[in-house]
Amino acid sequence: MTAPALSTHRVRNPGARDWFLRQQEKMQAELCEVRTVHDHATAKGDGTELHWLQMLQRRLPMRYRAERAFVIDADGNRSQQIDIVIHDRQFCPVLLDTAGGVHIPAESVYAVLEVKQVLSKEQIEYAGAKIESVRRLHRTSAEFLHASGRSRTIPKPILGGIVAFESGWSPPLGDSFEAVMRTSTVDTRVDLGCALRHGGFEIVYSDRGEPQLSRCDADSSLIFFFLRMLHRLQQIATVPAIDYVEYTGLLVVGEDETADAVRTVNSA
């Protein structure tokens, strides 16, 4: 008797979609509670940032870490304070951690996200300026050893995003939203985001700078944003190795002292 052929049809698991939807409903309820409990704008903003930050900290793969932080470079420049910095977990040194904030080297950064209550023209432009303050920083790239020899990783563009509770437009992600995205510069571009109550979006820019926009419905805004962000992080692959010698220039004063410090490090 011939055995029946095995079916290659994949059965969709309705439980997985339901689980994702429950996660979004939970997140939305928590953010609604923050908006209801806190009258003060700063307290409301801090509470909202914390929920987004904790969500990413729980669900990002272990190679990444999410922090509210400043980003600095080897030339002594510093970004504006960023609501969420997604950076390398394994090799990233936290160069300064004080009451004034965490400071992360620019080389370790994969993505920066701004958290807002409402998605609007003003907030997207504000987020773009914050993203620009990170993208304009100098990133070093040191050679590193591996089994096949030496390599050097070219720094890839840093992702920029914005997440909000809702959109201030009607329709939420329509022509007005797209028009704002067309006015951005290379350094102020927002690559992806989410208005939790109204939908998620991803933008891929052509070689000519034209935005190609993908959107999703409100009921899957959170998981759409999260999965598209993971896909973009996957494309970056890895951040460049930090050239720590360049950072020694922040610790000394004067050309002679800098040269002495570099010689000392190189001879170690």
Q: What confidence tier does 58 reach under pLDDT thresholds 50, 70, 90? A: confident
Q: pLDDT per residue over 200-256, tens digit each?
A: 999 998 888 888 999 998 888 888 999 999 999 999 988 998 998 998 887 665 555
Q: What is the pLDDT of residue 152?
A: 81
- Residue 261 above 50 pLDDT? no
Q: How far apart are CA 62 and CA 116, in angstroms?
A: 26
Quick check: is 114 catalytic?
yes
160 occurs within a structural domain: yes
Q: Does residue 66 lie within any of the structural domains? A: yes
Pick 30 or 229 by higher pLDDT.
Answer: 229
Angle between helices 14-37 and 41-59 (to 10 degrees): 160
For the question of residue 116 being annotated catalytic, the response is yes
Distance CA 229, CA 226 (A): 5
* CA atoms of 198 and 169, how far apart (whole Å): 10
**Who has greater pLDDT, 247 or 2?**
247
What is the pLDDT, as a whole number, of residue 96? 72
* Residue-level pLDDT at 39: 56
The chain-wide mean pLDDT, for the chain, equals 83
Question: Residues 67, 73, 88, 114: which is the catalytic one?
Answer: 114
Query: Which residues touch 12 (CB under 8 Å, ≥6 apart)?
Result: none
Which domain covers residue 193, as residue numbers? Answer: 17-267
pLDDT, one tens digit per residue, over 164-175 is 989 999 999 999
Would 73 be classed as within a structural domain?
Answer: yes
54, part of any domain: yes
Position 163 confidence tier, pLDDT thresholds 50, 70, 90: very high
Lowest mean pLDDT among 30-34, 35-39, 80-84, 156-160: 35-39
Banded model confidence at residue 176, pLDDT cuts 50, 70, 90 = very high
The closest alpha carbon to 84, from 60, 120, 118, belongs to: 60
What whole-number distance in Å separates Cα of residue 115 and Cα of residue 53? Answer: 9
pLDDT digits (tens, 9 = 90+) for 112-129: 999 999 999 999 999 999
Q: First and final CA of the chain: distance in angstroms?
A: 75
Give 8 or 158, the one with higher predicted confidence.
Answer: 158
134 within some domain:
yes
The single residue of 73, 107, 116, 191 carrying the catalytic annotation is 116
Specify the number of domains making up the chain. Answer: 1
pLDDT of 34 = 63
Q: What is the pLDDT of residues 10-26, one digit of tens each?
A: 545 556 667 677 777 77
Predicted confidence band of residue 44 (pLDDT cuts 50, 70, 90): low
pLDDT tens per residue across span 62-90: 999 999 999 999 999 999 999 999 999 88
Q: Is residue 262 part of a domain?
A: yes
**Distance (Å, rounded) from C-alpha 122 to C-alpha 196?**
18
Does a structural domain hold residue 6? no
Q: Is residue 167 part of a domain?
A: yes
User: Any catalytic annotation for residue 83?
Assistant: yes
Q: Active site residue: 73, 83, 88, 202, which one?
A: 83
